[in-house]
Structure 1
Amino acid sequence: MKKTIETDRLILRELVDSDAELMFEMESNPNVHIFVGKKPLKHIDEVYEYIRLIQEQYAAFGTGRWAVVLKETGEFIGWSGIKFITKEINNHQDFYEIGYRFNEKHWGKGYATEAGKAFINHAFNEMKVDAVYAYADEGNANSRKILEKLGLQFINTFEYEDETEVWYEIKNPKNI
């Protein structure tokens, strides 16, 4: 396992199979999936497959979604991280994207912003990427606020998988 990243309240680390139970609690919640395809998971085996695919991304690209764990209790509360996207989205391909998803009981506590800031810093200072991108459902006001708190700038609106999405980006200040 790679090193962890610590913030004031969080430990960020690679996902492992022992995260599956709490990850399934999150991923099976329809409220969590309102703005991400409306397809909550129905069986815990889907989580194990999801973790396996993320672990393949770690091996292939050296990055991916990581577990977000409360430092105080050790509880898995969601995932966040920098993923390398190989398919074309909004006329971009082979780019780094920041994302996050949290268990509903942990919404509104600033964890997505705290983890996101750590990952943006990691992307620019450790991974040395030129830019980080993100996209969200146009109607997901909370996610858009988080992206803006992370310093990403709104670029445009586009259609993706029959949904209207918004595109954000942040350039590495060391490369400007």
Structure 2
Amino acid sequence: MHIFLETGRLVLRAFTEADADNLFALNDDPEVMRFINGGKPASTETIREYTLPRLLHDYPGTGTRGYWAAQEKATGAFLGWFEFRPLDEHSRAEVELGYRLRKYAWGRGYATEGSRALIDKGFTELGVKRVIAHTMAVNTGSRRVMEKSGLSFLRSFAGDWPEPIPGSEHGDVDYELTRTAWEQRQ
């Protein structure tokens, strides 16, 4: 098991093919997927043919993957995943931060803990210059994690929703944190 980083309560590790069932359970929860696709259930075919290959992809610019399986350190339980993916796969300058956690992990600080650790690693070890994150404007839980992780509101915009879902009419938001701003807070 390739461990990317550890925090006090989390292990972020590389995904493997064996994670398909965990990903299906995560993406099959309507509440987890509410702000992604309106809560539509996942299919095992989608997990195996689209989701898992995306999570297994290596990015030459950073020499790492862009998605990490999150496990609870004490129990080994699969909690979900974190994204720390370069916007340009051949550059480490800008990365996108994201997370998707099982419902039982919500409200326990895992998203903030993992996000902060990834940001710190990005700025200290990976040569990242800017971290961005985005979500639906109505996703107050995710927005709060971004803020607690040190990101600042950048802009609101009308997202491109080929199939609108409840809340999409309110648009999307972007947050950011630059290395300079992060250094000033240290």
Alpha-carbon shift at residue 5 of structure 1 (Å): 0.5
Report deviation, 1:175: 7.3
Query: What is the deviation of 1:17?
Result: 1.6
- 2:32 alignment partner, SS class: coil
- Please report the TM-score for the alignment, with normalisation by the length of structure 1: 0.87
The alignment status of 1:142 with 2:141, answered yes or no, reads yes
Farther-moved stretch of structure 1 (145-154 vs 61-70): 61-70
Aligned CA distance change for structure 1 residues 115 and 175 (closer, same or farther; 3 Å):
closer
Tell me by how many angstroms 1:81 deviates.
2.6
Gaps of 5+ in 1: 88-93
Q: Which residue pairs with 1:51 in the alignment?
A: 52
| C-alpha deviation, 1:46, in angstroms | 1.8
**Structure 2 residue aligned with 1:72:** 74
In the alignment, structure 2 segments of 5+ residues that lack a partner are 162-167
- CA 1:143–1:9 in 2, change beyond 3 Å: closer, same or farther? same
Per-residue deviation at 1:55? 1.5
Q: Write the mapping of 1:35-50 to structure 2, written as runs, cut at 5 A.
A: 35-38=35-38, 40-49=40-49, 50=51
* Alignment map for 1:1-176 (pairs within 5 Å): 2-38=2-38, 40-49=40-49, 50-56=51-57, 58-61=58-61, 62-86=64-88, 95-162=94-161, 163=168, 164-173=171-180
One-letter code of the match for 1:75? A
TM-score of the two chains, using structure 2 as the length reference: 0.82
Cα RMSD (Å): 2.1
Partners of 2:158 and 2:147 in 1: CA distance = 21
Instruction: Say which SS state the counterpart of residue 133 (structure 1) adopts.
Output: strand
Larger CA deviation: 130-139 vs 13-22 = 13-22
Kept after mapping to 2: 8 A contact 1:63/1:84: no
CA contact (8 A) 1:130 1:175 kept: no
Cα displacement (A) at 1:2:
4.8
